[in-house]
């Protein structure tokens, strides 16, 4: 029994020691809530150590007291002690729960303030961290994807550019091919309509002196247009009128007499006629008269095909472009400038567009050292007007003011204290200008309400009128106020 009491006392001391340690631990837990879970783990470990110590003590006592009865008693005592220990552990656990409840109740405000805030803060930190990580990932992959996308776009753009370039080159090549094919087709179709003007010089040989173009036909005749200077006899001072002087050569077998319906000096055009009876049916079957284009629609840069008989080389075709439009060459018509090669003998020939329409009649080539590609054709619209008037009246009846003048430029106007306009050099007697009172030295600044800044402006207004029309002129005369004069347009006698 003494040993039992001793054991019980030892156990009680151990239990008391354990309780004190637990109390100390609980006090420490109260001091730091954040370390509570670690301390609880420590208590569990300590409790396990206590049980192990108890087991060791009991084993030691069992070894020392080999008496079966005492062993039984010790075993029963141990069981009882275990039961007591369990009770004590339960009491300790209850105390812990009470203290934990007490801690929670004491720190209820802290739990509401500190614990929830701490948990919320942690959650917020976690969310922010996740967002930052996702942002970094998105930024990295996004940039890479953007670079890849840009690379793909650049690659696509480069591919598209190359494709477009190839396509454009193909289009250009196709267009060039098409243009050249059109040149061939136009030449083959209209070469029979481009004929030669030849002269009988008294020998057996006929000299080619120029070119002419078949533009119309009826049941009896073929109608042809050429330049006046081609059919003009410079020696006798008049146009050739006799059949033994000039002929139209359609081909080697068809050289026919022709008659002159009329000519016009101010456009350098002439209209001719040949009877169909003098032309073989075989040739007539392949003859296609040309069609005239609307030359107001001609654009710089478009194709120009010149067909003629330069230097006697019949049916010569050259190809170029329209270099300029509305050129003035001291005549009463507009000229189209072309760079297709034309030479002496091309005069009176045709310049075609790529549609097979005549845009002009070749008239002038500037010949000088170092000058190439400066050819000029009377515009198709002016050609049509002249042809119509000659066929109807035998001549071109042009409205005429009766003055010769020049342009007062801004520099000259400032130098001589004159207004810009058309300065009158001479006035023809009995003309409309003479009868209206216009004098040499006058400057015409307005005509029919149109501002006049050059002699070309004045000519343009006059050409828009008809013979017999009146024109209202505003005239500056030195030393006088601005004058208002009315002049009647007469017919010009060339």
- For 47-94, what is the HEC assignment? HHHHHHHHHHHHHHHHHHCCCHHHHHHHHHHHHHHHHHHHHHHHHHHH
Q: Residues 466, 468, 469, 472: is their CA dihedral positive or negative? A: positive
Tokens of 78: 């141990």
Backbone angles phi, psi at 156, to 5 degrees: -65, -40
Cα 337 from Cα 335, distance rounded (Å): 6
Tokens of 404: 């010769």
Q: In Å, how far are 332, 433, 458, 488 from 429, measured between CA atoms?
A: 21, 8, 19, 13
Is 255 within 8 Å of 233 (Cβ atoms)?
no
Farthest-apart Cα atoms in the chain, separation:
178
Residues 6+ apart with CB under 8 A from 14: 50, 53, 54
Strand order in the sheet with 221-227: 254-257, 246-251, 194-200, 206-217, 221-227, 269-275, 259-264
Catalytic residues: 229, 268, 347
Q: How far apart are CA 78 and CA 95, in angstroms?
A: 24
Tell me if 348 sits within 8 A of 383, measured CB to CB. no
- How far is the C-alpha of 312 from the C-alpha of 343, rounded, in Å? 10
Of 464, 487, 488, the C-alpha closest to 475 is 487
Q: In 276-315, where do the E strands start and end?
A: 303-308
Please state whether beta strands 350-352 and 246-251 pair in parallel, antiparallel, or not at all (unpaired): unpaired
Angle between helices 68-106 and 108-190 (to 10 degrees): 70
The label of the residue with tokens 């004098």 reads: 439
């Amino acid at each position: 029994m003494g040993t039992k009491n001793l054991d019980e006392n030892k156990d009680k001391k151990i239990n008391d020691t354990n309780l004190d340690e637990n109390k100390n631990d609980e006090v420490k837990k109260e001091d730091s809530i954040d370390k509570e879970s670690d301390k609880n783990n420590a208590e569990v470990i300590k409790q396990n150590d206590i049980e192990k110590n108890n087991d060791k003590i009991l084993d030691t006592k069992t070894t020392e007291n080999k008496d079966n009865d005492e062993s039984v008693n010790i075993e029963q005592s141990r069981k009882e002690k275990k039961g007591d220990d369990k009770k004590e552990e339960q009491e300790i656990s209850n105390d812990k729960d009470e203290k934990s409840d007490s801690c929670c109740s004491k720190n209820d405000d802290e739990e509401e303030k500190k614990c929830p805030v701490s948990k919320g803060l942690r959650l917020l930190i976690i969310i922010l961290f996740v967002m930052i990580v996702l942002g970094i990932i998105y930024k990295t992959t996004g940039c890479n994807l953007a670079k890849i996308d840009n690379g793909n776009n650049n690659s696509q753009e480069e591919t598209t550019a190359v494709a477009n370039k190839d396509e454009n080159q193909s289009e250009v090549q196709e267009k060039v091919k098409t243009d050249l094919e059109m040149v061939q087709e136009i030449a083959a179709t209209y070469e029979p309509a481009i004929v030669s003007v030849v002269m009988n010089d008294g020998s057996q040989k006929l000299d080619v002196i120029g070119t002419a173009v078949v533009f119309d036909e009826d049941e009896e005749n073929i109608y042809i247009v050429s330049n006046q200077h081609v059919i003009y006899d410079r020696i006798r001072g008049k146009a050739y009128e006799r059949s033994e002087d000039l002929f139209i050569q359609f081909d080697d077998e068809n050289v026919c007499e022709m008659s002159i319906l009329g000519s016009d000096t101010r456009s350098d055009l002439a209209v001719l006629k040949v009877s169909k009876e003098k032309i073989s049916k075989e040739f007539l079957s392949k003859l296609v008269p040309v069609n005239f284009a609307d030359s107001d629609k001609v654009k710089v840069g478009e194709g120009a095909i010149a067909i003629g008989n330069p230097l006697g080389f019949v049916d010569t075709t050259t190809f170029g472009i329209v270099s300029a439009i509305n050129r003035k060459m001291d005549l009463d018509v507009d000229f189209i400038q072309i760079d297709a090669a034309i030479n002496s003998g091309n005069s009176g020939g045709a310049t075609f567009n790529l549609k097979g329409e005549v845009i002009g009649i070749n008239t002038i080539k500037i010949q000088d050292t170092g000058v190439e590609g400066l050819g000029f054709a009377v515009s198709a619209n002016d050609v049509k007007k002249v042809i119509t008037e000659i066929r109807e009246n035998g001549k071109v009846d042009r409205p005429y003011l009766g003055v010769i003048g020049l342009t007062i430029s801004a520099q000259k106007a400032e130098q001589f204290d004159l207004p810009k306009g058309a300065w009158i050099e001479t006035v023809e007697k009995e003309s409309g200008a003479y009868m209206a009172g216009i004098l040499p030295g006058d400057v015409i600044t307005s005509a029919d309400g149109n501002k006049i800044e050059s002699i070309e402006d004045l000519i343009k207004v006059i050409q828009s009128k008809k013979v017999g029309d009146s024109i209202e002129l505003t005239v500056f005369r030195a030393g006088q106020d601005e004058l208002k004069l009315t002049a009647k347009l007469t017919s010009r006698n060339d």
